[in-house]
Structure 1
Amino acid sequence: MSETGPGATADREVVISRVIDAPRELVFEAFTEVRHLSRWWGPEGFSTTTRSFEFLAGGVWDFVMHGPDGTDYQEWITWTEIVPPERITLLHGEHRDDPNAFASILAFAPDGAATRIEMRTIFPTKQLRDEAVEKYHAVEGGRQTLNNLAAYVTELVRKGAEG
């Protein structure tokens, strides 16, 4: 019997959400251009170098994340669905056709004048999810990434108010 419906992927998921004090369109836009992404993407202490970037369904972001300890991580994201300004769905691995790639769904919902972003990541197996959480600190890294996003777009809002 195959599992379907709510909870069918719960043991393979990581879900992180955060309210960001910025309009939904701006939070969404922070994902659409590499000039934005390179300013906030990744956990604390990480930076990125982009090799190619095309933000459209079927497009690819090929980049390297540089860890604070000097380790380079090859990364490959294929955007699978883009519904501005509500949702972005992507497949994230180390390279094209990575069998261990995971899917992420980013949902952007208005929360008053702010935006609630939910990042739902679904791994191919429970083992890969557990490894990502335990070895790569996926939950804390995801929280730090959303905190970096929040700080970045909040600064854009502040600068816009000054301008």
Structure 2
Amino acid sequence: MTVQSKENYEVLLTREFNAPRELVFKVWTEPDHFGKWWGPKGFSLEISRMDVRPGGLFLGCQKSPDGMSMWGKFVYQEVIAPEKLVYVQSFSDEEGNTIRAPFNPNWPLEIINILTFAEENGKTTVTFIGGPLNASEEEQAAFDAMKPMVKQGFAGTFEQLEQYLASQQ
């Protein structure tokens, strides 16, 4: 996995999966699959809603091993199957109203995530670009301070994705 920062975006992760692009895209966009691998290691994900189309909404609750719950949402901006997903990610309440992150009052309200899926020789490379959207100086500083943890969290999520994809073939 490649992890680096560029000036035009905040976080860049690139990972190759030993699976066809259609399958990789499917497990990112169907709730029966997505809920089985998404999120930090040890957390579970309960999906309340998942409507993957421009303007559609994902709403889910992650639960930590010690029982802490955090709701989050994605608002899909662009969906080009099986090539690209663009969504704005936020913390939310159970109804999908955007709220502040429970761990930091200065965490950006919105993070834009852009995923591309490219296949070569039966393997799929996922490129994940993300960063704050319309962030204040305080929000940007909070994101910058947590960037190593964000990268580490996504690295773990991608490991879970790799294991899940292996179980689907």
Does the pair score TM above 0.5? Answer: yes
CA distance in 1, matches of 2:141, 2:120: 35
Structure 1: gaps spanning 5 or more residues: 1-6, 158-163
Aligned to 1:105: 114
Q: Do the aligned partners of 1:100 and 1:128 also contact (CA within 8 Å) in 2?
A: no
Percent identity, aligned pairs only, is 27
The DSSP-based 3-state class of the residue aligned with 1:30 is: helix
Q: SS state of the match for residue 146, structure 1?
A: helix
Partner of 2:13: 16
Secondary structure, counterpart of 1:40 in structure 2: coil
- Matched position secondary structure for 1:140: helix
Aligned partners of 1:9 and 1:129: how far apart in 2? Answer: 15
* In structure 1, distance between residues paired with 2:65 and 2:77: 30
Letter in 1 for 2:88: L
- Residue 160 (structure 1) aligns with: none
> Aligned partner of 2:150: which letter?
A
The residue number in structure 2 matching 1:147 is 159
Paired residue type of 2:54: A
After TM superposition, the runs of 4+ consecutive aligned structure 1 residues lying more than 6 A away are none
Unmatched tracts of structure 2, length 5 or more: 1-5, 100-107
Residue aligning to 1:156: 168
In structure 1, C-alpha distance between the alignment counterparts of 2:24 and 2:70, rounded to whole Å: 25
1:123 aligned partner: 132
Counterpart CA distance in 1 for 2:125 and 2:155 is 13
Task: After TM superposition, give the deviation of residue 62 of structure 1 in Å.
Answer: 0.8
Q: Where in structure 2 are the equivalents of 1:58-97 lying within 5 Å?
A: 58-95=55-92, 96-97=97-98
Q: CA deviation at 1:133?
A: 2.2
Q: 1 or 2, which has the higher strand percentage?
A: 2
Letter in 1 for 2:127: E
Structure 2 residue identity aligned to 1:16? L
Computed over aligned residues only, the root mean square deviation of the Cα atoms, in angstroms, reads 1.7
Change (3 A) 1:97 1:70: closer
Q: 1:25 aligns with which of 10, 22, 27?
A: 22
In 2, are the aligned partners of 1:110 and 1:116 still within 8 Å (CA)? Answer: yes
TM-score by length of structure 2 reads 0.80
